[in-house]
Amino acid sequence: MSLCIAAGALVASLAVDSFTLAWTHSIEKIRWEEDWRIEAGRLHLVEARIHGSGAGMEPPEGAVLERGVWRYRPALAPVEHLRLANSAYTADYELCFDGRCRPLAEVAGSAENAPMELHACEGERAMAAEFDAVLKAPFGALGVRTEGDAVAEIRFLPPDTPAFKPQTTLAERACQQLASYLADPKAGFDLPLKAAGTAFQRRVWQAIAAIPPGHTLTYGEIARRLKSAPRAVGQACGRNPYPVAVPCHRVVAADGGLGGFANARGGYLLDTKRWLLEHERN
């Protein structure tokens, strides 16, 4: 069983069957914790704890005080999705698993205080409805979506995403070319891509498409060629709808680091960028 954490277009996954969600009220400085279990594709709230008297509210009926911590079992039916909204009164959420706690934004590889959604990764199978094919890859999976006679999107998906057979001729062709690239980084692409983005974004994507396998450019180098700024180039890279076919992974930071990838600074997406660059070096 796995937990999926969605933050906008980013989806991170953890191979866990239970976890604790924790946060601290920014005014009362009271820590709240909830223990969750993943079962049958749903999230089950097992127990909740309040360290102290509660942030502006009394502990619910049936709560038991043990060593300064109120414990109780919320009467909440299992849910498919747990949505966490940004709040001015709540510090960043923490996710606790395997005996340690980490900021949820760090686990998800997203910006701090970004709205997030937690759900059982079994529910990711429904994601196949978004795509005309899902191709397994060494780093996870690639979702392919077509519209008419053009590829509308190629998306990086979490490692435990199941494969989904191509439903259209074009999706099958895209998967064949993606599979060829995964076997040989020198394999090229000649897919019809749906027009997307602003005029500037298209210029950035065109510059990226010209970078040969095994080579990289920095955000600053592309920015100078386009008489723009590195940040603007990075934003355009993050909105590339056709990664791999338009190889945004070949754009790196000026200090030699990976930089970001698909609007992420960590998680499986950065691992994917690392894999793609190593794949092309070998």
What is the torsional sign of CA 61, 63, 65, 71?
negative
Structure token digits, residue 74? 């919320």
Report the alpha-carbon distance of residue 24 to residue 92 in Å, rounded: 8
Chain Cα centroid distance, residue 255 = 25
Cβ proximity of 1 and 16 under 8 Å: yes
Task: State the catalytic residues.
Answer: 248
Report the alpha-carbon distance of residue 248 to residue 242 in Å, rounded: 9
φ/ψ of residue 242, rounded to 5 = -130, 55
Q: Nearest CA to 118 among 146, 148, 149, 93?
A: 93
φ/ψ of residue 199, rounded to 5 = -60, -40
Q: Nearest CA to 272 among 12, 16, 9?
A: 12
Query: Which strands, in side-by-side order, build the sheet including 18-24?
Result: 64-66, 69-72, 42-51, 31-39, 18-24, 94-97, 100-103
Q: Nearest CA to 160 among 121, 110, 118?
A: 121
